[in-house]
Amino acid sequence: MATPTVVLLPVWGVGHLMSMLDTGKRLLARSGGSLSLTVLVMQAPTESYRSDVAGHAAISRLTCPVAALVIDFFGTTLLDTPRELAVPSYVYFTASAAMYALFLRLPALHEEVTVEFEEMEDMVDVPGLPPVPPPVLPSPMMDKKKPGYTWFVYHGRRFMEARGVIINTASELEQSVLAAIADGRCTHGVPAPTVYPIGPVVSLNPPAEQPHECVRWLDKQPLASVVLLCFGGGGFSTATQAHEIAHGLERSGHRFLWVLRGPPAAGTRQPTDANLVELLPEGFLERTNEKGMVWPTRAPHPRRRGGLRDARRVELHPGEPVS
């Protein structure tokens, strides 16, 4: 009999693709040969591309039994496919449990908040999290008229249809929000799919070439002493946001490595290299020179040679709040 396979369907972004592949490798290593992996590579979208049709056809043509389908959290349109094929479906969530809780809460917030979020006078309530100031919500949520917001609400609803949700986080880091999700507090008492915190999923292969400048700086710091701030390949900060982060870092007194990217140029979606003079408070770099490093462009990905070995540098204790 053919070995059952777990089908992975990541999206094309490197932060999604590589993380899910590493998760698949971990699953394969622990299966003891009882499972195989099939990866469906989703091409970058075009006007004529329809992921639901393509995914259904690819899965139904497999000759081995399909044990489960694991879908990237931006691919929830595909949740119809496993239901039609009687295959268990799981969502792979590359962000934090806090972000997942916000997604689950969003359909109800959409009904409760009749104005734009930036027009709210109160904080946003997300169970398991401190009160959330509206300006720090993800940018797709800041304009309800745009498709990005509609898709966020759509995904928040459809997550509830999955058998489970695999999150690239550690339970010790997000105890309160994981408890809120499990208790149904993010979904008005309706049980949410079981959450599997499996992270952090990071490849820590030793570099075989000259380490990146960020890594050389990290290697000079005491172990378990550096806070890493990096908001993903698409993350960026406005001057207002960067000032708030800078003030917090300076007041904390901790060593830090901050990957700071600037807002996208007009008509584009990707962050720009940061103009530190425009984004940071005056004198910040001079005052924090001995304890911090601000990197104004893309940082090396953990999978690449010489990538950031951040997990070896940050000390976190169970139950300690992370902000």
**Does 16 qualify as catalytic in the annotation?**
yes
**Does 72 qualify as catalytic in the annotation?**
yes
Task: Give the amino acid at 204.
Answer: L
Question: 């917001």: which residue's tokens?
Answer: 149
22, 52, 56, 72: which one is catalytic? 72
Distances from the Cα of 55 to the Cα of 49, 181, 213, 223, 244, angstroms: 11, 29, 41, 45, 43
Rounded to whole angstroms, the Cα distance separating 163 from 253 reads 43
User: Which amino acids are annotated catalytic?
Assistant: 16, 72
